[in-house]
Structure 1
Amino acid sequence: MITPEPRIRQAVPADEGALGELDRTTWSPLHAVQPAPEPPYRPFFDERHRPEDYLVAEDAGDGARDAGGGVVVGYLRLVPATPLACNRHVRQIQGLAVAESVRGRGVARALLRAAMAEARRQGARRITLRVLGHNAPARALYASEGFVVEGVLPGEFFLDGRYVDDVLMGRSLTP
């Protein structure tokens, strides 16, 4: 059976609960530099993490319900890389999460492609991200979508009893 691609849309304030739940259930030392979330949970949206910064993936399967009654199965945060005018042509991915129940079905790839299209729509010429060196699945996905390693900060984080590299990846958005 062929699985349909998820519907990708911009987040809205009413997605707060579903996105917060997804964020908590997908936490892993494979990609997180912060400790696992514990109650009381902080709001998902705040002054630095606005709904308009997020793309949401919806699916008809099991998962947290979104504001429109669909099922939230993933999100991606896309923001300007810095607040500098000289850097406004760059967008950065600062978070990507996919529900365990739909991994391997192309949700992360769909979010990534939607983010590149949105970055182009916003006038960006480049897109960048940071990924932990030991996160081989994410690094492979990014490489398959044209991202290349542009820098490595060796041993930048001490996680789970070992030093982990911070890998900087990027790609052009122009033809």
Structure 2
Amino acid sequence: MIVPETQTRTAGPNDEDALGALDRAAWSTLHAVVPAPVEPYAPFFDDRHRPEDYLVAVRGDVLVGYVRVVAPTPLAANAHVRQVQGLVVAGPARGQGVARALLRAAMDRAREDGAVRITLRVLGHNAPARALYAAEGFVVEGVLPGEFLLDGASVDDVLMGRSLLG
């Protein structure tokens, strides 16, 4: 089977239904700290989650993933930082470089926005994501032990970051 090339682009309002469906299909305690979504579903986009905050991965005409990249706070003192706040890949597209393409696109977008640093948070038990981030130059900068209780188990919140210079 030939897999179409993955393209990344900024999300648009017309992507809302596909993004919502992807988000619901990919929900797992491996990466989510909020309860599983139930109907009626909230809109994917709102005042805090705007289309322009998302980069999407598309193969042909199928949306196969997204990453959200935003300023971590509204403070001028850390306007030089961007934060990944969500990276999701459709099940059938996993292991095919989609997450890596999205992460690299996120770093490019952050640089274009003038950022010199990028950070993220990942659950301690999410070994595949942690390995990807490490392979892309992110390092563990802190751990909040037992920050979350998921399915009755204590899970660490791992803070990772990297420079965007050089």
TM-score of the two chains, using structure 2 as the length reference? 0.98
- Counterparts of 1:1-175 in structure 2, within 5 Å, are 3-60=3-60, 70-175=61-166
User: What per-residue deviation string (whole Å, max 9, x for no partner) do you get for residues 91-141 of structure 1?
Assistant: 000001000011110000000000000000000000000000000000000
8 Å CA contact 1:5, 1:106 repeated in 2: no
User: What per-residue deviation string (whole Å, max 9, x for no partner) do you get for residues 74-95 of structure 1?
Assistant: 0000000110001000000000
Runs of 4+ in 1 over 6 A off after TM superposition: none
Compute the displacement of 1:10 (Å).
0.1
Q: Letter of the aligned partner of 1:51 in structure 2?
A: P
| Count of residues in Structure 1 that have an aligned counterpart in Structure 2 | 166
Q: Letter of the aligned partner of 2:43 in structure 1?
A: P
Contiguous gaps of at least 5 residues in structure 1: 61-69
In 2, Cα distance between equivalents of 1:3 and 1:96? 21
Change (3 A) 1:25 1:101: same
In 1, Cα distance between equivalents of 2:44 and 2:5? 25
In 2, Cα distance between equivalents of 1:143 and 1:4? 27
Q: Letter of the aligned partner of 1:15 in structure 2?
A: D
Q: Letter of the aligned partner of 2:23 in structure 1?
A: D
In 2, Cα distance between equivalents of 1:59 and 1:4? 6
Compute the displacement of 1:4 (Å).
4.7
8 Å CA contact 1:155, 1:165 repeated in 2: yes
User: What per-residue deviation string (whole Å, max 9, x for no partner) do you get for residues 36-85 of structure 1?
Assistant: 0000000000000000000000013xxxxxxxxx1100000000011000
TM-score of the two chains, using structure 1 as the length reference? 0.93
